[in-house]
Each structure stands twice: as structure tokens, then as C-alpha cells.
Amino acid sequence: MRWLVTGAGGMLGRDLRTALAEAGETEVLAASRADLDVTDPAAVRDAVRGADVVLNAAAWTDVDGAETTEQAATAVNGHAVQTLAGAAGKRLIHFSTDYVFDGSATAPYPEDGVVAPVNAYGRGKALGERAVLAAGGYVVRTAWLYGEHGPNFVRTMLRLAASRDTVEVVDDQQGPPTWSYALARQVVALAGAGAAPGVYHGTAAGSTTWCGLARAVFAEAGLDPGRVRATTSDRFPRPARRPAYSVLGHDRWSGTGVAPLPDWRAMLTEAMPALLR
């Protein structure tokens, strides 16, 4: 198969390249932002033309920055996805986010849960989702991603552990920490599975808080988890409102032949050697 990966220089994009190589896929056009700006419609149509599968990992991921520059964020997360969807149709696998939900749920959001974003980033991603679904493509929602490449919460905790005695971390948001490499492997499998298009949730099973995740990271690194102190989000005001509950359900994987991702805690243990490298 011929693959196009957009946003191939990002955290997930780089793991998608690895997962494709490990799957023996050799016809991979991995386009970083410098190779393909997804907000350039002519370039997008041109790049998509020869591909059997398009994995769109390009995104504006500065959630707080999107609050003040919503137009620029939506150009990437919404309008560019409309172009990609129009050009690739059912060949497109697009990554979206738990931030399309408002976070008021108390049980995992199903794939057809009501989309009601509470911040500018979420509104742009919701626009992108609608275009992909209207064009018959695939939307893979993920959340709380960490990985070997690029800045993320787990790597930040490892860095802070080396420079501070204690770290204060919010304990009032619930989500599924998810290893980007595990997600990349799952999505490469999805592309080859002949599964029905629509929404899939590419997140770990189970959930914790950011504080719970930080303590697990300390424990995995052989450090005292008691050095992580719980606090609340109102102590750390940020421009973009965060959903309090970001846990997603995984029912749609059944019958696809592709396994849902394992529990977040076991996944972290598996990921840790790569993160500590």
C-alpha cells in the first residue's frame, strides 16, 4: 500500500513512521510540515493523489494558544481537514481528541457521544471531525498522549523529578494516559483491517488523574511517588478550559479484528524504557 503521513515530524507522526516500517510498509511518504503544509489546498490535493491511505497527524496542538488565535488553529484543525477529507474521502484516517467532549460525563464517552467542545482547540477539531465523517473517512480520537518524541507530560515529570524535591500536580481531571507508539501500531492495523469507517477511540483502557500519572511515572523511574503532591486546577489557571472527564469508550473495536489498547498502567510500564532512553 502507498501511505501518506502528514505531520510526520510530530510526536505521533514519528511513531507512525516507526510502526509502518515495523509493519514492513516501504511505500511511505512521510511529510513533515516543511514538506507539506496542510493549509495549502493545492499541495494537499497533489500529495493525496497517489496515496491508498492518508494518516493525518498534522495539527495545531497548542491548546492555550488556540484561545487567542482561534482562526489560525482552526485553519489547521478544521479547514485543512475539510480539504484533506474532500481529497481523500474514505482513504483518510484523521486523529481527533477527547476535547470535542465537554467533560461533564461520569462514564466513558461512547463513539457516538454528543460533541460539545468547551475550548477553541476542541471547536476546531470538531469541525475537522465533521468533514471527515461526511466524506466517509475514519476519525480516531485519542487523549493524554505521551511518547518518546516531542514534549509531553511524562517527559516533563521525568525532567522535574531531576530538579525538584516535590512537584505539585492537579488531581481533579480524569483521563486515559496513552502511549503514542501503541496508538500508532493500532492505527496501522486499523488501516489494514477493512473495518467500517467512522469514529474509533484510540486511548488506553482505564483512567487516572494527572497526579496519578505523575506518581506512576516516579514509581516507574524508581523514585518516591510521595514527592508528587496533589493539587486542584484552580491553583493553575490556564487560558483554555479543560474537560474534567476525558475517558473514552472502546466498543467499536469489537468485530474489527483490531485489539483495543491495554490498560494505561501496564502501557506505561511497557513505554518507560523508551521514555528513559
Ligand X SMILES: NC(=O)c1ccc[n+]([C@@H]2O[C@H](COP(=O)([O-])OP(=O)(O)OC[C@H]3O[C@@H](n4cnc5c(N)ncnc54)[C@H](OP(=O)(O)O)[C@@H]3O)[C@@H](O)[C@H]2O)c1
Question: Active-site residue numbers?
Answer: 121
User: Which amino acid, one-letter code, is at 159?
Assistant: R
93 binds ligand X (CB under 6 A): no
Query: Does residue 243 touch ligand X according to CB under 6 A?
Result: no
Q: How far is the CB of 140 from ligand X (least distance, A)?
A: 9
Nearest distance from residue 204's CB to ligand X, in Å?
Answer: 12
Cell of 17: 513512521
Q: Give, for 134, the enclosing helix (H) or strand (E).
A: helix 120-134
CB 212 within 8 A of CB 183: no
Is residue 209 close enough to count as binding ligand X by CB under 6 A? Answer: no
Which of 72, 187, 74 shows the shortest CA–CA distance to 129?
A: 74
33 interacts with ligand X by CB under 6 A = yes
Residues of this chain, 56-75, that bind ligand X according to CB under 6 A: 57-61
- The residues, ordered by sequence, that sit 6+ positions from 87 with a Cβ below 8 Å of its Cβ are 44, 45, 48, 49
Instruction: Give whole-number Cα distances, 197 to 48, 101, 138, in Å.
Output: 18, 20, 5
Considering only the stretches 52-60, 165-173, 193-201, 231-239, report the one whose residues sit in contact with ligand X under the rule CB under 6 A: 52-60
Among 5, 11, 188, 248, binds ligand X (CB under 6 A): 11
Residue of minimal Cβ distance to ligand X: 10
List residues binding ligand X (CB under 6 A). Answer: 6-7, 9-13, 33, 36-39, 57-61, 76, 95, 97, 142-145, 150
